[in-house]
Structure 1
Amino acid sequence: MEPAAKLDPMTEMALRSLYDIAMPAPVSWWPQTWGWAVVAALLAFAALLVILRRIKRYRANAYRREALTLLEGVADKLRHPATRPDAIRELAEVLKRTALGAWPREEVASLSSDGWVRFLDAHEEDGTGDTLERLLDDFEYHGAEIVADLPSNVCGDLVIAARKWIEQHHVSA
């Protein structure tokens, strides 16, 4: 090994006087002024209100979820001609139960025929159309053999119209 080269005295004294680099303290993520704390509190409050409103809406729409579950069972029965007459009556019952879940009993329970169709039309944004009117005015009262012979596309249209009404009807607050 070769001996290290000798440094001149000035360089040696300069090297001895050097210190390590001083690192600054890390910057705090906590707000430095009270204004940011107020903004953070307001944002947290707004988020809490949004969460509470969504929970309230979820609970308020429980009857819709139950009606859609019942509608799936009715849709299965409508696919088979043997169970179709009972399914037509059950479909009308699901619609009435849905309305009873959303509006006061005094307003809905006594409705039938044209009044019931007008009620359904009045509480949907774009109207129920002919499909549900046909269900409520005609199919529900036909004989079992006529209902059993309905084309499957008519039954599918009934389920689609009922699902649309259940999902989209408007209940005033």
Structure 2
Amino acid sequence: MDPVQTQIDLPNKGYLLPENIPMWPPVWWTWLVVAALILCLIGLVVYVNRRHKARAYRREALAGLSISSLTKTDDVSDKACILLCHEMVRRCLISEEKQQVAALPSQTLFETLDQEMPAKKRFSLLGDDFIHGIYRQQLTLTPEQRDSMLKTTRYWIRKHHA
């Protein structure tokens, strides 16, 4: 007898169990769970989309302060660089519907904004050149001062909770 073709005869074939019972169609409440998951997913997509659109002003402000165009001293004067930093901060405040804060004089505005920022990233550390530099006739900044002004402004734009 060939061992490959051997079949086992079971004595009581009437007691054998049928094939596995399929799991489809599922129970009636499965569709409720699937619908709830789909609604949660749609809600999450809508929330992320609205948040992305609401924060578009941050991306525009950061693009306006791009590193390549402002770190070159030939392209933009020091006074224009400071003015651009002030303008971007005020635009962000107006976009967040904080017109009263954006209308404050420069010194008061940056003192107010410094209260929310960590000690190492405050505008007050930039000195009087940042706050009063736009009103001076002759202004020369070192590349380090200019870089720190841009970095602090970018940091505030990314991290503020106006």
- For residues 135 and 36 of structure 1, the distance between their equivalents in structure 2, rounded to whole angstroms, comes to 66
Runs of 4+ residues over 6 Å off in structure 1: none
Q: Structure 1 residues 36 and 157, CA, compared in 2 at 3 Å: closer, same or farther?
A: same
Map 1:150-169 onto structure 2 (within 5 A).
150-169=141-160
TM normalised by structure 2 equals 0.72
TM normalised by structure 1 equals 0.68
Q: Structure 2: any 5+ residue segments left out of the alignment?
A: 1-18
- For residues 56 and 133 of structure 1, the distance between their equivalents in structure 2, rounded to whole angstroms, comes to 38
Superposition CA RMSD, Å: 2.8
Which structure has the larger Rg over C-alpha atoms?
A: 1
**What's the counterpart of residue 77 of structure 1?**
70
CA deviation map 1:108-131 (0-9, x unaligned): 342113321133224x45365134
Q: Structure 1 residues 125 and 90, CA, compared in 2 at 3 Å: closer, same or farther?
A: closer
CA deviation map 1:73-94 (0-9, x unaligned): 7x62353066222221122111
Q: Structure 1 residues 152 and 136, CA, compared in 2 at 3 Å: closer, same or farther?
A: closer
Q: How many residues align?
A: 142
Match of 2:82 among 84, 88, 111: 88
CA deviation map 1:115-157 (0-9, x unaligned): 21133224x453651345645423333333x32xx22111111
Conservation of the 8 A alpha-carbon contact between 2:126 and 2:145: no
Q: Structure 1 residues 133 and 170, CA, compared in 2 at 3 Å: closer, same or farther?
A: farther
Q: Structure 1: any 5+ residue segments left out of the alignment?
A: 1-23
